[in-house]
Amino acid sequence: MRYFKSKTKCIYCIFYILKMNFMHFIPHGFDLNLLLVFDALYRHKSVSKAAEAIYLSPSAFSHALNRLRSVFDDPLFVRMGGEMVATKRAENIAPVVSESLKHLSFHLFKQHEFDPSMSDDELIIATTDYTSFCVLPSLMKKLKSSAPNIKLKVIFQSMETSIQNMILGKIDLIVGYSEQDEMKSSLIDVSPCFKDKYVVVVSKGLYSEMTLTNYIEADHIKISAWNEHDGIIDESLKAQGVYRKISLELPNMLIAPYMMQSTNLMITLPSRAVDVFKDIHELDTFALPIMVPEYSVNVYSLEQSKLKAPQAWLKSKILSIF
C-alpha cells in the first residue's frame, strides 16, 4: 500500500486541486485515487491482475472497490464467467475516467521527445539589445533551416530578475554580458560566447584624440542594460578618484546615435556594437583612456543536468555561432 501511495502521490495532488476547484461537483471526502482502481479493474476485468497493475494487494484492492461501490451506490463490477463485468453505470463512466487519467498523464508526466525540425515550441531568451545585435541575426539564420517552426521570444529585464525567472522555469536562457566574475551560483552554468573591448564613441569631428581629461569633462550617455546603477566604467573611474558626468541614462543603445547627432554627448560601448552603428551614422571612435576588464558575453543556463532538451539544444546553437 505504501508503494501505491508513493506512485500515485502526484496524481493525488492534482486531483486534490481539482476537488478544491469543483467542490460542488465531487462529494466531500471522495478519494480520487479510487479512480485508478476503477480504471485498472475495467481494463483487466480481474481483481488480482488489476491489483498487481497498480501495486496493491488483492485485499487492499477489494477494500478500495467496496468504497467505490458505496460512493456510486452501484456494484460497478459483477463476477460473471470468471471475469469482473462492468455494470451499465460503470460502462457509462469508464470513458470519462480513462480519458481523464490519460490526459493528466500525457500533459503532466510524459517526457516529450524533442525534434527541433518538427517542434513548434516557444523558447524565451532574456538578453540586452547589444547581445541581440551580436547573436540574433546568426541564430535566426541557423534556426530557419534546422527548426523552422520554433518561435523565439526575446525579453529585456534586470539580470537579477532574469536569473530568478530562469530558476523558476519562466525563461529558458539568458544571453548577456559579464564585466566581472559576479555569477557564482551553483544553480547556474556560465558558457562564454566571446569577449569584446570598450571604445569611446562621439559625433564625427568633435575630438582629435581622447584623453582622460576629455573623457571626464564630457557629457555622457550611459546604457544600463541590466538596470544596474554603477557599471565597470564608473567603478574603474571611481578607483582612480575621478568621475564622469552622466547627462542621459538609457535602458538600451538603439537611440544613442541619434541623440549624439544633435548634441555633443559621448558614449562608451563595446566595439561590436559600434561596428554596426558606423555603417549608418557618422561617428568617431577612440580607445578608452582608462583600463577596464574586457566585456564578456555569455550564455547563462541552468546546470546541464537540469536543462530540458529544447533548452540544451538552443544553448548549443547559440554557442556554435562563436
**DSSP-based three-state secondary structure for 136:** helix
Q: What is the pLDDT of residue 254?
A: 80
Strands 219-223, 188-196: parallel, antiparallel or unpaired by DSSP? unpaired
pLDDT digits (tens, 9 = 90+) for 151-160: 999 998 888 8
**DSSP-based three-state secondary structure for 116:** coil
> Which residues in 157-179 are b (16+ Cβ under 10 Å) and which e?
bebeebbebbeeeebbbbbbbbb
Q: What is the pLDDT of residue 102?
A: 84
- The domains found in the chain, sorted by start residue, are 2-109 (1.10.10.10), 122-195+296-321 (3.40.190.10), 198-293 (3.40.190.10)
Could you tell me the CA-to-CA distances from 110 to 33, 102, 270, 304 in Å, in that order? Answer: 19, 10, 45, 20
**Selected residue with higher pLDDT from 72 and 260:** 72
Distance CA 21, CA 165 (A): 27
Q: What is the mean pLDDT of the chain?
A: 84
pLDDT over 70 (residue 68):
yes
Q: What is the pLDDT of residue 133?
A: 82
Across the range 70-97, mean pLDDT stands at 93
pTM: 0.63
pLDDT over 80 (residue 277):
no
Proportion of the chain in helix, strand, coil states, percent, rounded to 5 = 45, 20, 35
